[in-house]
Structure formats: C-alpha cells, structure tokens
Amino acid sequence: QENFPEPAATFQRRNFRARGFSLSGLFESVIDAVSDGFTSLVNNVIGAESKNGKIQVSRVSYKGHQLLRIHPVTQRQVDELREMRDTEADDIRFWTQPAANKSTDIVVSPDIIDDVRDFLKNSKIDYKVLIPDLQKTIAYQNPKMSKEQRDDLVSNQGHSMTWRRYHRFN
C-alpha cells in the first residue's frame, strides 16, 4: 500500500517548484539581505568615512510620510495587510506586525498614501493618522544647534569618535 501525500501538501510543493523555490536559493537570499541590511545600517548610522577622516552622512528625509495606526479585526484583513507589506516593501514600513484585534503602526510614503487609504477603506480596516508629516515631527524633536552650541559640545566632549579615531582608556 502506497502512502500518498495530502492534496494540500502536494499543491504547496508544486507551487514552490513552479516559483523556483530552493533551499540554497532561500539561504543565499537571506545572507544577501542580512549583508545588504548591515551595510546600509552602518552607512546610515555612522556614515561612510572619507579620505580626510570626516564622516560623510547621507540624510534620509521623511517629508510627507505619514504614520498610520490601523486596526485589523479579521484574519482576512491581517492577510491583506501582510500581502500589502510584501508587495509595497519600499513605500510602506511596518513598525508593528499585523495581527487580528491589535493595532499596527505603518509609515507610508507620500507617493502611495492615497492608494493605501483607499485600500484600507475598501477592506473596511479602521485607521487613523497619528503623524501627518513624519519629517516635521523629527525636526521638532531634534532642533538645530547653533554654532555656539556645537562648539561647546565639541570643547566639552573632545573630538568625535569614528571607526579609526576613538578615546583611549589610558
């Protein structure tokens, strides 16, 4: 007597093969994502150091980005949000993962904010705008320092640390 796999399991295996799924491909993708993410994180946090020893910082602007708090109720709504997260990864950042009957916070780029709002309305997912312009909130929380304040900071704390310049213990 032969053992036949369940129909659902057969469908999933065929579906993965049709999409070109392989364990080694998955492993490579994960390694690439971690590597790219780490490089991006280091460059965004500390900047890339130039030849003259000064840090080159590339700023990210969140002008027009909105922070929305959404509240999915059903599993269908959660699944739709997960699909949206996976298809719009560049324009939507999930600060919390979607779950039924729990709030989920997302940052949406200005390029697709109208589409996201329409999607939420059509899917009957309640939402509210927590921050209408994320960049303005960031600027308010981090006011610019005057030249005098910056000079005081440098004189009180010494030079800034980099990967090559740092304070020694002795």
pLDDT averaged per 10 residues in sequence order, the chain, 170 residues: 42 38 57 58 54 66 93 95 88 92 94 93 95 90 79 68 61
How many Å apart are CA 158 and CA 160, to the nearest integer? Answer: 7
Q: At what angle do helices 113-122 and 75-87 cross, to 10 degrees?
A: 160
Beta bridge partners of 93: 107
pLDDT of residue 52: 59
CA angle in degrees (0–180, nearest 5) for 102-115-65: 70
- Phi-psi region at 158: left, alpha or beta (left = phi > 0; alpha = psi -120 to 50): left
Query: What local confidence, expressed as pLDDT, does residue 116 receive?
Result: 92
Q: Give residue 109's pLDDT.
A: 94
Residue 22 token pair = 């392989």
What is the pLDDT, as a whole number, of residue 147?
83
- How far apart CA 97 and CA 82 sit, in angstroms, is 8
Neighbours of 164 (CB within 10 A): 7
Name the pTM for this structure.
Answer: 0.54
pLDDT of residue 17: 38
